[in-house]
DNA sequence: AAACCATACAACCGCTTCCAA
DNA sequence: GTTGGAAGCGGTTGTATGGTT
């Protein structure tokens, strides 16, 4: 008995999302929050699989996403964390508020990899790439380039940050696995890199401002939404679309629900947008 | 102006992990 | 302890866009 597909693929739309679909999804999530993604497309009136909806939301529509290229400091963080965590993009993204794993992964593959290679650093090992001379020498001695064969004597580059292309890879620590501690922010957000609460369904690391509310178990009181930018597609809708949104709700005790927090921020978003 | 190529990034796919039954 | 469902992750692909010839 095979496993059920994640979604009924028949009749489901694939490919780029339209503005209309984006609107539907945003509307639905702002009204209902994030419940089970499988049900979202049906309830939101979308001909997409839940997975696709989740991806679209987390990677593109989430209002707290930063857009645009990663800053130099963000790149540095990515490089630093990559040296410790490898291709654990979601973990890396958890340390960069407003950035998604997909975004970081793409940026790594298209920009950072090249930069590091240009600087003579192996993006995989974060160690200096062997020069041609060294390569020929190695081939003579049939020695495989063992990047981590001798961590204790690993070369740590010193490259002063003297230009836009330069990274301080000397800040990339070479550490033992047990030494790896994902840095927390001063705001003392629960960024437990791998710790799991036994009472919570929270499975994975989240950055409080970037993805805490992506977890349905997170209480509204905990939600903090930073200053946000809507994606371009949302800009294009015009104000009428915003006016049509109706997600004002109270929980009966005068407390604001997560929807209300969105609503509060909606005003802020509007101010920023228009 | 057209064809071709390179780049960037959105989206998909398949696998893994986790949890509840 | 086992199984199935749901969500998440990372690798890969597809496509739009810009640059070059």
A207 CA, C13 C1': Å apart: 29
How far apart (Å, rounded) are the C-alpha atoms in residues A63 and A210? 9
- How does pLDDT run along chain A (274 residues), one tens digit per residue? 333 444 445 678 888 888 888 888 888 888 888 778 888 888 888 888 888 888 888 888 888 888 777 888 888 888 888 888 888 888 888 888 888 888 888 888 888 888 888 788 888 788 787 665 565 565 554 443 433 333 333 333 433 333 333 443 333 334 433 443 333 333 333 333 333 333 333 333 333 333 333 333 333 333 344 444 554 445 444 444 443 343 333 333 333 344 444 444 444 444 443 3
Q: How many residues does chain A have?
A: 274
Residue A84 has what pLDDT?
A: 83
The strand pairing partners of A121, in sequence order, are A128
The distance (Å) linking the CA of A68 with the C1' of B15 is: 30
Name A128's bridge partners.
A121
Torsion of CA A170, A172, A178, A180, to 10 degrees: 130
Question: Which residues sit opposite A172 in a β-bridge?
Answer: none
Q: Which residues contact A47 (CB under 8 A, 6 or more apart)?
A: A11, A12, A13, A41
> Which residues are within 7 Å of strand B by their Cβ atom?
A 6, 13-17, 48, 51-52, 55-56, 59-60, 69, 102-103, 105-107, 109-111, 114, 196, 201, 203
Q: Which two tokens stand for residue A142?
A: 């049939």
What is the per-residue pLDDT for A139? 52
CA distance A206 to A224: 13
CA distances from A254 to A246, A249, A250, A251, A257 (A): 18, 10, 6, 6, 9
* Domains of chain A, residue spans: 19-63+230-266, 72-179
Handedness of CA A242, A243, A246, A247 (dihedral sign): positive
Q: What is the pLDDT of residue A137?
A: 60
Q: How far apart are CA A36 and CA A39, in angstroms?
A: 6
Cβ contacts of A91 within 8 Å, gap of 6 or more: A81, A85, A182, A193, A205
Cα–Cα distance list, A3 to A6, A7, A52, A202 (Å): 9, 11, 19, 25
Nearest nucleotide, C1' to the C-alpha of A12?
A: B12
Q: What is the pLDDT of residue A219?
A: 34
Give, in Å, how far the C1' of B2 lies from the CA of A213. Answer: 50
Token pair of A56, please?
A: 């679209």
Nearest to A78 by CA among A58, A53, A105, A98: A105
């Amino acid at each position: 008995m095979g496993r059920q597909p994640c979604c009924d693929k028949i009749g489901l739309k694939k490919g780029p999302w339209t503005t209309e679909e984006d609107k539907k999804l945003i509307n639905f999530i702002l009204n209902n929050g994030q419940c089970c993604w499988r049900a979202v497309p049906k309830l939101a009136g979308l001909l997409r699989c839940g997975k696709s909806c989740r991806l679209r939301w987390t990677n593109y529509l989430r209002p707290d996403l930063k857009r645009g290229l990663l800053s130099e400091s963000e790149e540095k963080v990515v490089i630093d964390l990559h040296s410790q965590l490898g291709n654990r993009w979601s973990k890396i993204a958890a340390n960069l508020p407003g950035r998604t794993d997909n975004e970081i992964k793409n940026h790594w593959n298209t920009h950072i990899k090249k930069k590091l290679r240009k600087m003579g650093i192996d993006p995989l090992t974060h160690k200096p790439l062997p020069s041609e001379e060294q390569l020929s020498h190695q081939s003579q001695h049939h020695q495989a380039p063992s990047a981590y064969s001798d961590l204790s004597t690993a070369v740590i580059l010193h490259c002063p940050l003297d230009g836009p292309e330069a990274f301080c890879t000397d800040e990339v620590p070479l550490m033992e696995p047990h030494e790896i501690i994902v840095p927390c922010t001063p705001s003392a957000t629960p960024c437990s890199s791998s710790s799991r609460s036994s009472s919570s369904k929270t499975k994975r690391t989240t950055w409080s401002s970037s993805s805490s509310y992506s977890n349905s178990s997170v209480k509204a009181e905990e939600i903090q939404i930073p200053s946000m930018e809507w994606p371009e597609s949302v800009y294009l809708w015009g104000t009428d679309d915003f006016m049509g949104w109706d997600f004002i709700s109270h929980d009966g005790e005068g407390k604001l629900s997560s929807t209300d927090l969105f609503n509060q921020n909606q005003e802020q978003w509007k101010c920023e947008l228009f």
